[in-house]
Chain A
Amino acid sequence: MAQNLAISELFAPTKAGVAARDYFAQNGLPNRRNEDFHYTDLSRALSDVPTNSSIFYEYPAPTQDIEIRILESGAKILGSHDKITISEFEPEQQTDVFAQLIYGLAKTGHKIEIADNTNLTISIIRFGNSRAVLDFEIGKNAKVEIIEIHEGGGLCAFSTRLNIGEDATLNFYSKLQGGGVDLSAIGAIQAANSQFNAYFTSEGGQMVRRNFGTVLSGENATINIGGVYLLGNSHFDFFSNIIHQVPNCNSQESVRGVVAAGAHAVFQGKILVAKDAQKTIGNMEHRALMLADGARINAKPTLEIYADDVECSHANTIGAISESALFYMQSRGITIVKAKALLTEAFLAQVFDDVTNQTQKELMLAKVRAILEGLVK
């Protein structure tokens, strides 16, 4: 039965937009009945079109080689670089339901090709109601840093595909602070010996969902995910899917979060090890602290292993700050609020221990500290 969707008029006049409008009119938006969206009911979140909230533009460190601004009209690329080739494409229909939604909403599609052996930094700033998709081709032995900042509210949709070449290194830092409804997906394919380090901080929003996937398709590729969420009265769902396709790859995922009253955090993580992917190392952990009553966390770590010679683990803990540790700190003269903030910050900061870019590390820790000031009471 066809449905009248509040967001149907928002789909772009592209092949993907037309396909998405038809598909979702027929099938409705993903809701609790879809396992992947059990805790993040998009059908409910998008029953009204989210209005834009105010935009705070924090200019990133002025070291980027190119800056990609994503606006209501789509992506705009500022600056140029002789090792980067940029072309536009029309977003096409997708099979995955979440990708179909994002691609359908996207106003523009850009392909960014980075030549072999190139060192550079790219910033991506996403404003309110911004919707776009970006495809990156990262050449062999390139060293690329991408700094993503989500600034705007409203309904944002963003997808980026990363084709990471042999021996290439990609460091991806995301600061997700825009609130509203933010649907985003990062999907990578990693060639042999590539290193992909992805870090994020998130404050959540009305409904924030990030899908993160990578396919380790060349031997000795490594993926390292480190994320922190700090939620007040907000929702954040981190959905990750790591696929070990070939032998000798290494995946490490560590997500930590704190939730205050009214918060809803969701962690869904999967490591899939294909039959041939022997000698895989895959570790995944999610640890969260409840700062107050009236917060909710759903966590679903999954391992799906078809190879027989692997080293894989998952861990999941949800707890509160240790009262003994708090008393110990208070007995030394530290106020309870300060003690909680110190313990919480220490708990979260461990996720960023291995970040090599000291500037980005400091920026993320400063962000964590600043948000905690508002959350810890």
Chain B
Amino acid sequence: MLNIKNLKVAVHGTQILNGLSLSVPAGEVHAIMGPNGAGKSTLSYALTGRPNYDILGGTATLNGVDILTLEPEERAALGLFLSFQYPLEIPGVPTLTFLRTALNEQRKTRGEDEIPVPQFMRMAREAAKRLGVSDDMLKRPLNVGFSGGEKKRMEIFQMALLAPKFMILDETDSGLDIDALKIVSDGVNFMRAEDRGMLVITHYQRLLDYIRPDKVHVLVNGKIAETGDASLALELEKSGYDRFEDVA
């Protein structure tokens, strides 16, 4: 599914990722944990193609396709989705218009027909109900005036409608209270499937109580310092990242 080999990335001239390698097979959920500044968000932006994230070396493929040379929208059409740590507000563009445009643009890139409006509305209503997204939120311009929790729920709602193949969740738990965390996690778990993969980036073990990872990677100084099963997250919660800092 997602294969990253020896990835080196610089942001505005400063190298952040120093030869990161990682492999997430289809059907698995991997968590990435690590201290502040380790390169967690850089990884998510480099994979989705944010401008000014310069690839200095290495490769990243999704289902065998080299994604690093593609435009961000082409990566999205291949099925890559990033749930943003800080979702953007898009003034003047109603949420449903935004999503219908996104879905149809992706389909166009893949050579598929547009989704008819009634079918899209049915899909939207079903997902909205499941994720506690109100009609009012759907009518408002995307994320404008939403609370932090509402924005995160909206990310998961977008994910549900766009039905990506590979999802990166960048600190989706930050800013969520327990109830919202439950809704968001249920939304994420709903998406788990044999042909889907997921990278969950988080600071806290708490999220992993709800979204059980198959593997946990520790990212320190732009590299994977250790990989283990779900119990590694619990251990990190107790011991912190100090021992990895020393190694690196």
Q: Which residues of A contact B (CB under 8 A)?
A: 322-325, 327-336, 338, 342-343, 345-347, 349-350
Q: Across the A-B interface, give the 7 residue pairs with the lowest CB-CB distance, nearest first.
A: A346-B92, A333-B106, A333-B76, A330-B72, A332-B102, A328-B88, A330-B73
With most chain A CB atoms within 10 A of its CB, the pick from B48, B73, B76, B90 is B73
Distance, CA A343 to CA B77, complexed state (A): 20
With most chain B CB atoms within 10 A of its CB, the pick from A346, A349, A350 is A346
Chain A min CB distance to B98 (Å): 8
Contact indicator A331/B101 (Cβ below 8 Å): no
Chain B min CB distance to A345 (Å): 8
A346 contacts across to B, CB distance below 8 A: 90-93, 141
* Residue in chain A with minimal CB distance to B45: A327
Mask: chain B, 52-96; 1 = CB below 8 Å from A; 0 = not? 000000000000000000011101110001101001111111000
* Chain B interface category by residue count: 20 to 34
Contact indicator A335/B73 (Cβ below 8 Å): yes
B88 contacts across to A, CB distance below 8 A: 322, 324-325, 328
Chain A min CB distance to B193 (Å): 20
Contact indicator A333/B73 (Cβ below 8 Å): yes
Chain B min CB distance to A337 (Å): 10
A327 contacts across to B, CB distance below 8 A: 50-51, 72
Contact indicator B93/A330 (Cβ below 8 Å): no
- Can you give 28 A-B contacts (C-beta < 8 A)? A322-B88, A327-B50, A327-B51, A328-B87, A329-B98, A329-B102, A330-B72, A331-B48, A331-B75, A331-B84, A332-B73, A332-B98, A332-B102, A333-B73, A333-B76, A333-B105, A333-B109, A334-B101, A334-B102, A336-B73, A338-B105, A342-B93, A342-B101, A345-B92, A346-B141, A347-B91, A349-B92, A350-B92
Other CB < 8 Å A-B pairs besides A335-B105, A346-B90, 15 of them? Answer: A325-B88, A328-B84, A328-B87, A330-B72, A331-B49, A331-B76, A331-B81, A332-B98, A333-B73, A333-B77, A333-B162, A335-B109, A338-B101, A342-B101, A347-B92
* Residue in chain B with minimal CB distance to A326: B51
Q: B31 within 8 Å of A by Cβ?
A: no
A350 contacts across to B, CB distance below 8 A: 91-92
Contact indicator A330/B76 (Cβ below 8 Å): yes
B102 contacts across to A, CB distance below 8 A: 329, 332-334
Distance, CA A332 to CA B84, complexed state (A): 11
B92 contacts across to A, CB distance below 8 A: 343, 345-347, 349-350
Distance, CA A330 to CA B74, complexed state (A): 8
Distance, CA A324 to CA B88, complexed state (A): 7
* Residue in chain A with minimal CB distance to B48: A331
Chain B min CB distance to A324 (Å): 6
Distance, CA A328 to CA B158, complexed state (A): 12
Contact indicator A329/B162 (Cβ below 8 Å): no
* Residue in chain B with minimal CB distance to A348: B92
Q: Which residues of B contact A (CB under 8 A)?
A: 48-51, 71-73, 75-77, 81-82, 84, 87-93, 98-99, 101-103, 105-106, 109, 141, 158, 162
A328 contacts across to B, CB distance below 8 A: 84, 87-88, 90
A323 contacts across to B, CB distance below 8 A: 51
Chain B min CB distance to A336 (Å): 7
* Residue in chain A with minimal CB distance to B82: A331
A342 contacts across to B, CB distance below 8 A: 93, 98, 101
Contact indicator A343/B93 (Cβ below 8 Å): yes
* Residue in chain B with minimal CB distance to A330: B72
* Residue in chain A with minimal CB distance to B77: A333
Contact indicator B90/A330 (Cβ below 8 Å): no
Contact indicator B158/A332 (Cβ below 8 Å): yes
With most chain B CB atoms within 10 A of its CB, the pick from A322, A328, A334, A350 is A328
Chain B min CB distance to A76 (Å): 41
Chain A min CB distance to B84 (Å): 7
Chain B min CB distance to A304 (Å): 32
B50 contacts across to A, CB distance below 8 A: 327, 331
Chain A min CB distance to B68 (Å): 15
B84 contacts across to A, CB distance below 8 A: 328, 331
A331 contacts across to B, CB distance below 8 A: 48-50, 72-73, 75-76, 81-82, 84
* Residue in chain A with minimal CB distance to B88: A328
Distance, CA A348 to CA B48, complexed state (A): 29
Distance, CA A157 to CA B109, complexed state (A): 48
Among candidates B49, B71, B89, B162, residue contacting A332 with C-beta atoms closer than 8 Å: B162
Distance, CA A327 to CA B53, complexed state (A): 12
Contact indicator B103/A333 (Cβ below 8 Å): yes
Chain B min CB distance to A242 (Å): 26
Distance, CA A78 to CA B5, complexed state (A): 75
Distance, CA A333 to CA B115, complexed state (A): 15
With known contacts A328-B84, A329-B102, A334–B73 Cβ distance under 8 A? yes
* Residue in chain A with minimal CB distance to B83: A331
Distance, CA A334 to CA B99, complexed state (A): 9
Distance, CA A286 to CA B89, complexed state (A): 22
A324 contacts across to B, CB distance below 8 A: 88
Chain B min CB distance to A119 (Å): 33
Among candidates A322, A329, A336, A338, residue contacting B71 with C-beta atoms closer than 8 Å: A336
A345 contacts across to B, CB distance below 8 A: 92
B81 contacts across to A, CB distance below 8 A: 331
* Residue in chain B with minimal CB distance to A342: B93
B99 contacts across to A, CB distance below 8 A: 332
